[in-house]
Each structure stands twice: as C-alpha cells, then as structure tokens.
Amino acid sequence: MEQNREKISAQGLGLAAISYDSIGILQAFADREHIRFELLSDPDSKVIRSYGILNETVDKNTPSFGIPHPGTYILNERGVVIAKYFEDDFRVRDTAASILLRQFGLAPPPHETIGAKHLQIGVSGGDTPARPNQRITLAVEAQLPERVHVYAPGVVGYIPVSLKLNPSPAFQADPISFPPAKTMRLEAIHETVPVYERQFRLQETITLAGAQQIEPLLDGNRSLTIEGELRYQACDDRECFVPETVPLKWMVHVLPFDRTRVPESLRRKP
C-alpha cells in the first residue's frame, strides 16, 4: 500500500487501514515499515462490528478474537461503496497495485515493449514487490496500427487473442479479464465479428502461493519468473495474416513472509 500511496492520492482518493491493533502497535509498525498513510486503531473492534465483518469463527478466548474478514472498500466522495475486494481465503490479500489496475485501469509503465508483427506489446504489472499469498495483476497492452484489428474472444472461424501463463505451483491464475470488443462488419464477406482495434489491454490477476510453496521457486534475488504467451491473429481491411505467438515474461520480486513483531510488552493480550 505504501508503495502506491502517491498514485492513490493522485487519483483524489484517501487511504486508511483499520485493524484491532493498539495505537502502540500501529506506531511501532508505521515506524518500522515507513508507513505514512493512516493506520486506524479499533481495539474493541467496534467499527469492525459496525461494518458487519467481525470474524466470528475465531475463538473468543484467544488474542485473535476481534479481527475482521480482511478486505478493501472503494468509496466515492460521499462514502458510498463503489466496489469491494474481499477474499474467501483469509490468507489472501489484494495488493494496492492490483486494485489500482483493476479498479482504475492504472497500469504501471511497461517493463518491456515488444515490437511484434502487426502490433506493439507493452508488458506491465508485477513490478511492486509482493508477499506470499498476495494477489497481483499482470497486464499486456497492445497498440495496433491504423486499419489493423485482432479478433476478440467469441469469434468463429478466426483465432481470438488469448493470453496464457505457463502453469506453476507458485501461483493460481484467475480467468483473463478481456475488455469489451467492438463489433466490426466485414462487407466483403458479409460477416460481423468481435474485434479489438487501436489499443486494448488484457489483465490477469494471480494469487501467489504461500511462503513454503513459493520459496523454493525463487531465484537468488528472490525473483519469481512468470512466463506466458500472447496469441493473436491480426487482419487489415484486405487480408488476415498468419496467427502469431509472442512469448511474455514478468519478474516478480517476492518479499519474505513478514514475521517481525512488536516487543512483547506491546502485544495484544487475550
């Protein structure tokens, strides 16, 4: 979150995070991690309860009682929910970068630009360090020259554009998110087909595996290599070209699972 604080505030959005921790714990955490946005202390879980997200499955006699089901609300300027990101698995977290990309279409600058046949491809996402169990969003942005289109999913008789990640035990991939296609009428052959023109972006959100599973898959710099491919068939207004497959690559820096705690005296008591 801290790494994306400026981007969030550039969107005119406030940012605050609520937990049941004492002010002392939040202070220690903010100092240690250089957090500059508001960490709010809800020690009796009053606000957590008022939102209806108290985790009732936690044993009341343990220090963990009082935690919420974790999630993020996107609010408008009047405090009305416009979207929310909650996960069924309590270990899984959305990263701020992933929410910014999915909610506001804010892709970081591409880390690689590929001049493929008939189109330019920008590969982005995954460039903010992430921790095990976090969700990150990878993106591929294609720029097409004038009069060139590629086929969108649902097309019959042509090869639609597709993004595939090589499967790995290091992550689980959501279905690809495709933008809405434009319908094009091909007068010469009396066909109506779904296409993408000029510019389009495909997004793939993945959930990183837990620490135990992901650690052996990292290289010496703690980088996880994610490979995949973009497949498409480009056409202009006269002809369709041979389908192309472009290899893609993301390097995600995976931080160790954070086990640092505040001194004993500050910790929450049952």
Partner 1 sequence: MKRDILGRLPDFQLRGVNVRDMRSLAYGLGIALSLVLSYGAVPTGPAVGESVPDFRLQDQKGTYQTLRSILGPKGALLVFYRSADW
Nearer to partner 1 by C-beta: 168 or 172?
172
Q: Which of 2, 59, 62, 79 binds partner 1 (CB under 8 A)?
A: 79
Kindly indicate which of the ranges 84-92, 124-132, 156-164, 228-236 contains the residues binding partner 1, using the contact rule CB under 8 A: 84-92
- In whole angstroms, the minimum distance from the beta carbon of 13 to partner 1 comes to 5
What backbone torsions phi and psi does residue 211 show, to the nearest 5 degrees?
A: -55, -50
* 262 makes contact with partner 1 (CB under 8 A): yes
Q: Which of 2, 6, 11, 166 binds partner 1 (CB under 8 A)?
A: 11
Give kind and range of the element (H or E) at residue 28: helix 23-33
- Paired residues of 68 in beta bridges: 54
What backbone torsions phi and psi does residue 82 show, to the nearest 5 degrees?
A: -105, -20
Of residues 85 through 124, those in contact with partner 1 by CB under 8 A are 86-88, 90, 93, 96, 99
x/- string (CB under 8 A) for partner 1, residues 223-252? Answer: ------------------------------
> Which residue from 206, 154, 227, 145 is spatially nearest to 184, judged by alpha carbons?
154
Question: Are the beta carbons of 7 and 100 closer than 8 angstroms?
Answer: yes
* 187 makes contact with partner 1 (CB under 8 A): no
x/- string (CB under 8 A) for partner 1, residues 37-66? Answer: -xxxxx----xx-xxxx--xx---------
* 82 makes contact with partner 1 (CB under 8 A): yes
Q: Which of 2, 3, 84, 255 binds partner 1 (CB under 8 A)?
A: 84
Cα 93 from chain centre: 10
What does each C-alpha distance from 169 to 59, 128, 207, 217 come to in angstroms?
32, 21, 11, 9
Whole-angstrom distance, CA of residue 72 vs CA of residue 53: 11
* Token representation of residue 221: 């710099």
| Residues whose CB is less than 8 angstroms from the CB of residue 211 and which lie 6 or more positions away in sequence, other chains included | 132, 133, 256, 257
Of residues 121 through 140, those in contact with partner 1 by CB under 8 A are none
Residues engaged in binding partner 1 (CB under 8 A):
1, 8-9, 11-21, 23, 25-27, 29-30, 35, 38-42, 47-48, 50-53, 56-57, 67-84, 86-88, 90, 93, 96, 99, 261-262, 266-268
